Amino acid sequence: MAEAGKTAPSPSPKDAKESPSVNMAEDMKAFRGKHYFRLVVSTAGFVVLAWIFGRIGFGIVWLAPFLVLVFSWWNRTSSEILETTARLADVQARRERAFQNAETAEWLNFIVNRWCVFSDSSILSLIKTSLDPLLEYYKPTFLESIEVEDFTLGSRTPYFKYIECFDSFEDNRKIKASELAMRFPPSDLSRTPKYKAVMDVDLGLASPDSKFVIRVKIAKAALLDLSTDIAVEDFHINGKMQFVFSFNRNIPFPHLAAISLCFLEEPEVEFNIRLLKAVQLMEFPLLKSWVANLVNDCLKLSLVDPGRLTIPLCDDPDVLGHGAQYGCGILTLTIEGGYDGRLTDDVHWCALTLGEQKRQLKEIHHGDEWSDKISILVYSLTYDKLILKMKAKRKLGNKYTVLEYQIPLARLGLDTNGDQEEVFEKSRQRGSKMKVSFEYAPLPVINITNETTEEDFQKNYLDKMKDEENNNSEGIRL
């Protein structure tokens, strides 16, 4: 996966040891050799023709048109060779410079600028719809209501520079785009059901006229209208951002299923907070601190790897594909952590997601080592994916994701071995080591009709479970 991937060397074709420059040089050498041969043969032909003219006794008057013919032909043929060679050399130089030095695409910044300005009202509507419930949920106790009033980036929109692209593979490798990778794509790319392309960019935003306005109302206002607008403005953001383009063959062309983005490291964020109404609020220092922490948490915690924002471009084909309506088994998880130190000083807990099911384990307030146990329903061992997240909560109530592990159940092979144990760990992150024990028990299939009584159902169920136990016992004896 690209999120936790490591850069690997560029791929090479079968038994191919030559570099991209060698390959390009060989192509150009073959092209030049073919045209040089034509030049040599044609020149020899002109020399023979001139000798024949001399032997026949043509006068000097024929020499001028003959020289014009030779010169025009030579100029046309040599110009073609020079232009083609120069064009190939220019393409090679541009591509190598873009791949090696990371490209700065001003055309992309222009498109982003025009798109942001054109979509200003739509972006406000999207942010208001997304943030209003979140702000209402995390609002301090001294606030009666809080909502997004306005948002604009102004005319200075985000810009990208130093763009680098990678191939991403399931074994967590990231292979950087290069001339060799362009010439030799992965051999199974045209047949693989899923593929991810990764783009790392330096993101910057310096927008003095940006504005994010929040309207708040004090809870103790009673009959007084103690409401005011708080503006978060003059945004300056700099950081390394990663875009992951997920392609899926199960959706229609162009097969782009989703785009996800996150900061690879904590970005530099600066902004100003001020009141837009001249009202005296004793709570303003605390409110200002809460808003500052909220903005910082969104940009410095929620959007920093492993946290990310995913923009789906279609319905998830995996969810639609397996069509599981009934549970096929029970998965019991025993999770232990804290072996290598405390993950964070804030209150934290483990959260599980499997399909539409979400579970939260007990909160961890103190101590290093911890363990918990939970059972969850499995609908498909082939398509279901278990997501383990360690989440934390700041003192002012903002939640954020500390680390995340994604575990496709198909990789575990629980249908053949129901009891397994896995250890997960993030390199260079204290407290990230987790030991997870998986115990999978398939559910028996019982036929129920409208005429089935409660006694018959219990009898059928007990008989079915007895058969399952006998089958398991026989398997153990064998």
Reported confidence tier of residue 209, pLDDT bands at 50, 70, 90: confident
| Residue 400 within a domain | yes
Is the predicted pLDDT of residue 449 greater than 80, yes or no?
no
Note whether 242 and 278 are same-domain residues: yes
| Residue 463 within a domain | no
Last residue of a domain, one of 294, 321, 348: 321
Average pLDDT, the chain: 76
Note whether 38 and 72 are same-domain residues: yes
Strand ranges in 281-339 using DSSP code E only, listed in sequence order = 309-312, 329-337
The dihedral through the CA atoms of 453, 458, 461, 462 has a sign that is negative
CATH of residue 437's domain is 2.60.40.150
What percent of the chain clears pLDDT 70, i.e. is strictly above it? Answer: 73
DSSP 281: -
Q: What is the extent of the structural domain holding 195?
A: 104-180+189-321
Amino acid at 462: L
Q: Which long-range contacts (CB under 8 A, 24 or more apart) does 10-13 make?
A: 10/175, 10/176, 10/178, 10/180, 10/181, 11/175, 11/180, 11/181, 11/184, 11/186, 12/180, 12/184, 13/184
Note whether 149 and 243 are same-domain residues: yes
Note whether 51 and 170 are same-domain residues: no
In the chain the first and final C-alpha atoms are separated, in Å, by 41
Q: Pick the more confident residue, 22 or 433.
A: 433
Tell me the average pLDDT across 204-218: 86
What pLDDT, on a 0 to 100 scale, did the predictor assign at position 447?
57
Tokens standing for residue 162:
């130093």
Tell me the average pLDDT across 277-305: 74
Length of the chain: 478
Note whether 265 and 407 are same-domain residues: no
Tokens standing for residue 7:
């850069």
In tens, the pLDDT along 178-190 reads 666 776 788 788 8
Reported confidence tier of residue 309, pLDDT bands at 50, 70, 90: confident
Question: Dihedrals φ, ψ of 267, to 5°?
Answer: -80, 165
Tell me the average pLDDT across 422-431: 81
Q: Which of 119, 178, 174, 422 shows the shortest CA–CA distance to 305?
A: 174
Tokens standing for residue 112:
């982003």
In tens, the pLDDT along 162-178 reads 888 888 866 556 677 66
Say if CB 469 and CB 478 are below 8 A apart.
no
Segment holding 387, helix H or strand E: strand 385-393
Tell me the average pLDDT across 299-315: 77
Reported confidence tier of residue 333, pLDDT bands at 50, 70, 90: very high
Note whether 353 and 245 are same-domain residues: no
Is the predicted pLDDT of residue 204 greater than 80, yes or no?
yes
Residue for token pair 């150009």:
28
In tens, the pLDDT along 233-268 reads 888 899 999 999 989 887 888 888 888 888 988 898
| Residue 15 within a domain | no
- Separation between Cα atoms, residue 478 and residue 474, nearest integer Å: 6
User: Among 44-53, 357-366, 394-403, which range has the highest average pLDDT?
Assistant: 357-366
Say if CB 191 and CB 23 are below 8 A apart.
no
pTM tops 0.95: no
Note whether 139 and 231 are same-domain residues: yes
| Residue 12 within a domain | no
Note whether 357 and 299 are same-domain residues: no
Note whether 138 and 260 are same-domain residues: yes
Q: Pick the more confident residue, 5 or 93.
A: 93
DSSP string for 128-169: HHHHHHHHHHH--TTEEEEEEEEEE-TT---EEEEEEEEEE-
